[in-house]
Amino acid sequence: MEEYLISVEGRVQGVGFRAFAQREAVGLGLTGFARNAPDGRVEVLVQGEKATLDIFVDRLRIGPRLAAVRNVAIVARTPEAQHGSFEVR
């Protein structure tokens, strides 16, 4: 299992981005969470197999209909704890 910490910039708050991330993650069988950052970004911590994580990242780059994703930064990390589901925080 791998873990990505993802930072998504652009018009990503107030457009359903976290719920979109949750739907996509659950559909792919991934776990973790999505939360709004104070500076307007959305932060996503996600765990799963690398190939599936990469598919998820590709979907985040597009985002929901009302979003305008400008940048997606990814940090691959060693998981410290395992998440049992994907939640919106």
pLDDT recorded at residue 23:
98
Residue 80: band (very low, low, confident or very high) from pLDDT cuts 50, 70, 90:
confident
Beta bridge partners of 32: 46, 86
- Say how far apart CA 80 and CA 68 lie, in whole Å: 31
Question: Domains, the chain, ranges and CATH?
Answer: 2-88 (3.30.70.100)
Catalytic residue among 23, 35, 36, 59: 36
pLDDT recorded at residue 48:
97
The conformation of residue 81, written as its DSSP 8-state character, comes to: S
What is the reported pTM?
A: 0.95
Please indicate whether residue 18 is annotated as part of the active site: yes
Catalytic residue among 18, 61, 65, 89: 18
Q: Which of 66, 71, 65 is nearest to 42 (CA)?
A: 71
Please indicate whether residue 65 is annotated as part of the active site: no
Tell me the per-residue pLDDT of 4-57, one tens digit each, with 9 for 90 and over: 999 999 999 999 999 999 999 999 999 999 999 999 999 999 999 999 999 999
Q: Which residue has the tokens 């959305």?
A: 42
Maximum CA extent, the chain = 34
